[in-house]
Amino acid sequence: MGQPGLPGSQFPSDDAMIRKIKDLERQLQQSTAANILATAGIGVIPNGVLVNGMMQFKREDGTVGVQVDPATGSFTAFDATGTSEVARFGALQETSPGAYGVEVLVGSTWVQVGAQTTTWASVSGKPTTFPPTLPISGSDISGAVASATSATSATNATNATNATKAAQADGSQYGWTNTVAGTEFYALWVGNDGGFHFGRNTSSIKYKENVRDSGTGHAVLSLRPVVYDRKATFKYPELEDGTRLEGPPQMFEGAKDELGLIAEEVDEHLPQIVTRYGGEIDGVRYDLLGVALLPVVQEQAAQITALTTAVRELGGNI
């Protein structure tokens, strides 16, 4: 076996070994300098990667798209400029600091996604007023019945309370299914003050002026009582906003053999008790018929008294 470094030797010379070792050292130094992961504090650990320091992922234009904070383990997304945060996953900072989840920027308000029940008081950035869109649907009024859209006051956007009250009167069972309790009762009037408001029927002198005697007695005797049938009415299918739908109307039979007066005939003799709607004759104030008859009753009572006195003076027994 030859000597190391001599011709025919199986081992390299000492100089060759030294050169080989130096070359390996040089390659190792170059590899270490080129390892950007090592300089960034990133190393391989079992089942993962260990990161020491902030990580940023930039877009092609150089703006920051996503940032990872190893201290909290949260991911933060940025807007197109790469300067404003718009979403965060992990440790929350804006909505519930100290908690973990997802929060996003909606307009100017940070909102936590799916982690709590949002109350009206906790919503930030909400407007102070909410102008409604007319007409207001009855289903949009709290406590109102579905027919609120047919009530005149329901279209008044500045008075939702009156709309609710009107809805309870129009198309509601409340009035005619309610048993009235109490010790005093009032007749109900509908006014023509522009809003057709309800009010009690008053008769105190404090509400009246220019009081004078009525001469309507004989006019009442000219009225013709009649019996009649009311015409049937038809209701077409429609949406809540009043839009008519296709389809046949629903017919509602009118009352039969009803006793009353004809308003046009009453107007010829006693117009004081005739009501008008839209400038046309519409109804009769039946509640005033008894008042109009009082002069007739009083006159007849005086006649009966005089006749009774005359008969007795003649010796009659009456």
Determine the Cα angle at 259 with ends 255 and 263, to 5°: 95
Helices (H) and strands (E) in the chain, counts: 7, 16
**Integer Cα distance of 188 and 287 in angstroms:** 12
Q: What is the pLDDT of residue 232?
A: 93
**Integer Cα distance of 39 and 182 in angstroms:** 90
Decide: helix, strand or coil at residue 291.
Answer: helix
Q: What is the pLDDT along the chain (318 residues), one digit of tens a residue?
A: 455 555 555 666 778 888 888 888 877 766 655 555 555 566 666 766 666 667 788 888 989 899 888 777 788 999 999 999 999 998 888 888 888 889 999 888 888 887 556 677 767 777 888 777 777 766 666 665 544 444 444 444 445 555 555 555 666 777 778 888 889 888 888 888 877 888 888 899 999 999 998 887 789 999 999 999 999 999 888 887 878 888 888 899 999 999 999 999 999 999 999 999 989 999 999 999 999 999 999 999 999 999 999 999 998 887
pTM of the model: 0.47
Tell me, rounded to whole angstroms, the distance of Cα 105 from its chain centroid: 26
**In 68-78, which positions are buried (b, 16+ CB within 10 angstroms) versus exposed (e)?**
bbeeeebbbbb
Q: What is the pLDDT of residue 242?
A: 79
Q: What is the pLDDT of residue 19?
A: 84
Reported as half-sphere exposure (CB side, CA atoms, 13 A), residue 223 has a value of 24
Q: What is the pLDDT of residue 153?
A: 42
Taking CA atoms, 206 is separated from 187, 209, 210, 247, in Å, by 18, 8, 12, 54
Q: What is the pLDDT of residue 150?
A: 41
Q: What is the pLDDT of residue 267?
A: 96
Radius of gyration of the chain (CA): 48
Cβ–Cβ < 8 Å for 82, 63: yes
Cβ–Cβ < 8 Å for 229, 255: yes
Q: What is the pLDDT of residue 77?
A: 93
Report the length, in residues, of the chain: 318
- Map out the domains of the chain as residue ranges: 1-30, 54-111, 131-210
Q: Which residues are registered as beta bridge partners of 240?
A: none
**Integer Cα distance of 170 and 246 in angstroms:** 24
